[in-house]
Amino acid sequence: MTFYDVYIGDWEDPRVSREAGYIPRNLSGLFPPLEGQSDTHSVYSKVNALAHSGDLPAEQTFWQCWVVTVTRNQLLHYLDEWYGDAPIYPPRWTKTDKDPDNYEIRSFVHNLDPEKKYALVAWGD
C-alpha cells in the first residue's frame, strides 16, 4: 500500500543525525487531500515539485522523503495557494483531542515563531 504524508516538521530536533538519513518529527499533523482529491498524493506532489524547483532550500533526507526549508510566512503562503481560505484539518484518524480547533493547520502555523525555519516534509512509500 502506498501512502503520501505531508506535514510541518522540526528541523532542529536534536534526536536525529542529518548525516544518517532521517525523517523530521511531525509538529502539525498530516495535511489532508487537496479539494476534489481522494488522497494526499496531490499535496505530496506540490511539496515534491517545490523541493525540485530550486526556489527554496530543499533536500532528500531519506528514501522518498523530501524536505523544504520554510518560514512561517512561506508556509501560510503555500497553505493559501493550495487550500484557499478553507480550514485545513488533518485526517480524522490522526486526531486525539475532541476540540477540532487544536488541529486546524493554518491556526497552528499562525502560532509558529516567525523567525524560525521549519521543515515542510513530503514522505511517500
Q: Nearest to residue 43, comparing CAs of 29, 25, 61? A: 29
Predicted TM-score of the model (pTM)? 0.87
Q: Give the domain range for residue 20.
A: 4-124
End-to-end CA distance of the chain: 8
Per-residue pLDDT of the chain (125 residues; tens, 9 = 90+): 478 899 999 887 766 666 667 888 889 889 998 888 878 889 999 999 999 999 999 998 888 889 999 999 999 999 999 999 988 988 765 555 555 555 789 999 999 999 999 999 998 87
Could you count the other beta carbons within 10 Å of the beta carbon of residue 8?
22
User: How many folded domains does the chain comprise?
Assistant: 1
